[in-house]
Structure 1
Amino acid sequence: MLYSLYEAGYYASTPLRFAARATRDFWSSPLNPAKDSDMGRRLFANADLFANLTRRYGRPAWNIDSVEIEGQSVRVRQTEVWSSPWVKLTHFTRDMADMRRAGRRELEPAVLIVAPLSGHYATLLRGTVEAFLQDHEVFITDWSNARDVPLMEGRFDFHDFVDHVREMLRQLGPRPHVVAVCQPGPAVLAAASLMAEDGEECRPGTMTIMGSPIDARLSPTVTNKLAEEKPFAWFKSTMIDTVPAPYPGMGRRVYPGFVQL
């Protein structure tokens, strides 16, 4: 019900958002002689703030067409090398002719960057990808929004998360590196542990965990403390809601990002 009310609020605000955009454009137009007045700047700022707060932001483009290596511009293209309904594994392929001109003739180590699953776009890590492209074959997870995955695809729980990480590491070949950014830390640690236990050839050569609370009891945040104060039943009844129409995942039970905020 909460998700439906949220969506209804978004669509109900559409006329106001259009009015705010029109107001913003009017007071920023170079043809408006009063645009630099104190009143004009205030009206523009208020309209701009309202328009931005009530809009939906789509998935940004990576905009990584080239990277500089050893002073040489190396062309980069994106290739989807593996996918499931829940994720696309993207390989940033560097042009080999450009790499040879930069003095790099051997295949460099592969690294899998596991981006946050919790509602962020993978493009949040654009700078990280560009940095790793200096010395690595870079792969990154581009997770789907659960509201866009049809109910017929089944559920996606922590065990599925671990299995996905294991399968993607296998795509990189023997002993790849893996970097977990924030929320995927525990799943990557579990996947690496299971692969090591099974002696898999593609188990990680190194594992780096950035900003991920492996032991949430240490340095507890407000979120950690809330988790200790409330029973599981409270989270299930308060935080989980059903995806409404017209999303492809209509009927799926999810933890909406706006609830977290």
Structure 2
Amino acid sequence: MHLSYYWYEAARIMTAPARVVADMAKHSLQNPANPLAYAPYARSLAAACEMFERATRRYAKPAFGFTGTIVDGATVPVSERVVWDRPFCRVITFDRGFVRGPAEVQPKLLIVAPMSGHYATLLRGTVEAMLPSHQVFITDWADARMVPLGAGRFDLDTYIDYLIDIFRELGPDLHVMAVCQPAVPVLAAIAVMEAQGYSPVPVSMTLMGGPIDTRRSPTAVNCLAQERGTAWFERHCISTVPAGYPGAWRSVYPGFFQLSGFMAMNLDRHVDAHSDMFDHLVKGDGDSAEKHRDFYDEYLAVMDLTAEFYLQTVKTVFVDHALPMGTMVHRGARIDLGAIRTCAILAVEGENDDISGVGQTLAALELTPNLPVERKAYHLQTGVGHYGVFNGSRYRTIIAPRIAAFIREIQGLRETQAFSAIAHKPEAPVN
């Protein structure tokens, strides 16, 4: 049994007293009633205490925190509501506090958040940009360490089952946006639905920076998986949840492993960011320090993945390239992307993406030969990396409007074809 999780927990528990002391010292040194707070070294010492406390804490799951949005120039309140719930996932919708007439109903958009270590709140900016013009839903995946063993396994087949159930639950006229990791299971789930005649099938899917075919423009992440193989990841990356959590004894890929990998890819940038924050704290630049806190409160909050899901994903997506090779299966049946004939596809990629290289998501358009060309679209965003595909200024000003336009276009095409079918329907014979 891999003991990394136990060493991690032991280190966290042993540093807890020092973390409490550091936090108390910081507040004491920042207290105006303390004469020492005015000494030249007080800010440096308080900054050091805060940096230590933040470096040794476990970050809790953040909240979306939406209170309002702007629709047609008017500010309306926003509230969250759970519309679908299972042990490993729930679906949240964001209700906007206004009543719209039937002719003004906005498109339903399900954002499938990545199940790759971070919580769905990492897509807060993604949701925020779509709220004014869409009824937005999002998958809120559960932290595996919080799911009891009695809830059963969660693997790639279960993931696809969940998606199919969610698509059907949310009903007709649904549009889907898959961000990064879920691009593969979303594409697979819709292929299964179309092949087996499930109804209703989503009207469109937007695949953003997804690893559909990792043989194209392979990145460091892709190459590592290919070189190591599944057995290496099973030996070195799988651990057991310690006692004290609802999911105790469940085999997982710990979130702190994934976070370590993310940090290592851009270590210099993270070191510089923390050095800058220390300087901001010493200088009393509260706004810059708060921006740092907001980002890292989100970035450092990670969740565990079930071992079976993680290992199946590594093997299926990154080692075997099963979906583009035509060998991926769901519940023992081969997934045929040729079955996709109605659900439109928009592939979105970032020019500087170092997680899913250029061309990997575009492959979805080429792997669906029976989908009409007017139901396919592609957008390559210049000047952005992986994160910029679904967050940041270019996402808000260029990518999100492009997605909204695609949804309107496909919705219009669907309505036109439906009207045409009714108009050309032969009349029943008169007796």
Once the two structures are TM-superposed, the CA of residue 105 in structure 1 deviates from its matched residue by 5.1
String of CA shifts for 1:33-76, please: whole Å, max 9, x gaps.
Answer: 45465422221221111101111221222221221111112222
Query: Take 1:20 and 1:190, find their aligned partners in 2: how far apart are those partners?
Result: 49
Indicate the SS of the match to 2:41: helix
Query: Contact (CA 8 Å) 1:172, 1:202: kept in 2 or not?
Result: no
CA offsets per residue over residues 179-201 of structure 1, 9 Å max, x none? 01122111111112212223333
Output the CA distance in 2 between the equivalents of 1:177 and 1:29: 52
**Cα offset for 1:126?**
1.7
- Counterpart of 1:195, as a letter, is M
Task: Judge which range, 116-125 or 137-146, deviates more.
Answer: 116-125
Instruction: Return the alpha-carbon distance in structure 1 between the equivalents of residues 174 and 97 of structure 2.
Output: 21
Q: Which amino acid aligns with 2:115?
A: L
Please report how far the alpha carbon of residue 203 of structure 1 lies from its aligned counterpart in structure 2 after TM superposition.
1.4
Q: Distance in 2 between matches of 1:147 and 1:86?
A: 11
Match of 1:220 in 2: 218
Asked if 1:170 is matched to 2:172, the reply is no
Work out whether 1:25 is the aligned partner of 2:27: yes
* Cα distance, 1:250 vs structure 2: 0.7
The offset of 1:93, in angstroms, is 1.8
Q: Deviations over 1:227-249 (max 9, x none)?
A: 12213222111100111111111
In structure 2, the residue matched to 1:72 is: 74
Aligned to 2:363: none
Out of 158, 173, 179, which is 1:181 matched to? Answer: 179
Q: Which residue of 1 aligns with 2:131?
A: 133
Conserved? CA contact 1:147–1:252, under 8 Å: yes
Q: Aligned equivalents of 1:143 and 1:150: distance in 2? A: 15
Q: Give the 3-state SS of the residue equivalent to 1:230 in structure 2.
A: helix
Residue in structure 1 matched with residue 49 of structure 2 by the alignment? 47
Distance 2:223 2:43 in 1: 42
The alignment's TM-score, normalised by the length of structure 2, stands at 0.57
Please state how far the C-alpha of 1:21 moved relative to its aligned partner: 0.5
Hey, which of these two has a bigger chunk of helix by percent?
Answer: 2
Matched residue type, 2:7: L
Aligned residues: 257
Picking from 55, 59, 62, the partner of 1:60 is 62
**1:87 maps to what in 2?**
89
Partner of 2:6: 4
Please list, as runs of the form range in 1=range in 2, the aligned pairs for 1:116-127 lying within 5 A after superposition: 116-127=114-125
Q: Percent identity?
A: 46
Gaps of 5+ in 2: 261-431
Out of 154, 157, 164, the residue aligned to residue 156 of structure 1 is 154
Q: Residue type matched to 2:188 in 1?
A: A
- C-alpha distance in structure 2 between counterparts of 1:95 and 1:43, whole Å: 47
Write the distance in 2 (CA, Å) between the matches of 1:142 and 1:44: 36
Q: Deviations over 1:164-221 (max 9, x none)?
A: 1111111221131100112211111111221222333321211111222222222323
Scaled by the length of structure 1, the TM-score of the pair is 0.92
The one-letter code matched in structure 2 to 1:240 is I
Aligned-residue Cα RMSD (Å) equals 1.8
1:13 is paired with a residue whose SS is helix
2:166 and 2:137 map into 1 onto residues whose CA distance is 9
Report the 3-state secondary structure (helix = DSSP H, G, I; strand = E; otherwise coil) of the residue aligned with 1:59.
coil
Task: Work out which of the two has the higher radius of gyration on C-alpha atoms and give 1 or 2.
Answer: 2
